[in-house]
Structure 1
């Protein structure tokens, strides 16, 4: 039975937020209901995001970039924005956290290695958040 619900938000909803959602589903199973959305969703998932998730047994099966659903936004327990480009006007009472995700491309790291580093940063944050949310419901 789910104990919490959350929404990951970025701009395109094709890479980092999809990755965060998949990692949270893997970490928390059905104990946390997880959604992801974009402020201006793209048209497809980032292929490297999909690939690096598969490397660790996580997946994005059936997922696609989605816009923010205002009804969902008002009902979740927590919203996490990834990166500083996603701007969100959350309804009163909705808790919003912002994660400044490491961007390896700023250091000249690109391709699959970049995505593995991004995955690592997000996975660490997701694991900490899952523990916090699950501990709060005990």
Structure 2
């Protein structure tokens, strides 16, 4: 059976979309990937999209969406990105939180900020993919 993961952040426009795009790129058909937000925004963050495109991944066709509660019972893992998103752990999927690098706390903004966030998420995605695919 193909493992699955749900990436969650608040707006589902940046970090969770980046993680999903990078996981699709890394795992391809070996993983089913979802992303959602606790308070979905109106659009995907353009700087986030550009940052993942620089490494060959894509957010094309994606848009912010709310959490589908049925996914909390059906995915193999839920990953919450950042410290702001909170979900009701009513589902049965294991939940983990990734406190991702936040370069803006060090005064780093714009494209450089997004690249650092992308690289942090990318490393975590690779480790998660290896863990779920071998299970």
TM range (shorter): over 0.9
RMSD in angstroms over aligned alpha carbons? Answer: 1.0
Report Cα offsets for 1:35-84 as digits up to 9, x if no partner.
00000000001000111111111101110000001112221111000001
Q: 4+ residue runs of structure 1 moved beyond 6 angstroms? A: none
CA contact (8 A) 2:73 2:93 kept: yes
CA contact (8 A) 1:9 1:17 kept: yes
Unpaired runs of 5+ in structure 1? none
Report Cα offsets for 1:95-117 as digits up to 9, x if no partner.
00110001000000000000000
With the length of structure 1 as denominator, give the TM-score of the two structures.
Answer: 0.94
Residues 43-62 of structure 1 aligned to structure 2 (within 5 Å): 43-62=42-61
Show the counterpart of 1:3: 2
With the length of structure 2 as denominator, give the TM-score of the two structures.
Answer: 0.96
Q: Assess, with a 3 A threshold, how the Cα gap between structure 1 residues 13 and 94 changes in structure 2: closer, same or farther.
A: same
CA contact (8 A) 1:104 1:114 kept: yes
Unpaired runs of 5+ in structure 2? none
Show the counterpart of 2:34: 35
- Match of 1:70, SS state, is coil
Structure 2: how far apart are the matches of 1:96 and 1:129?
Answer: 12
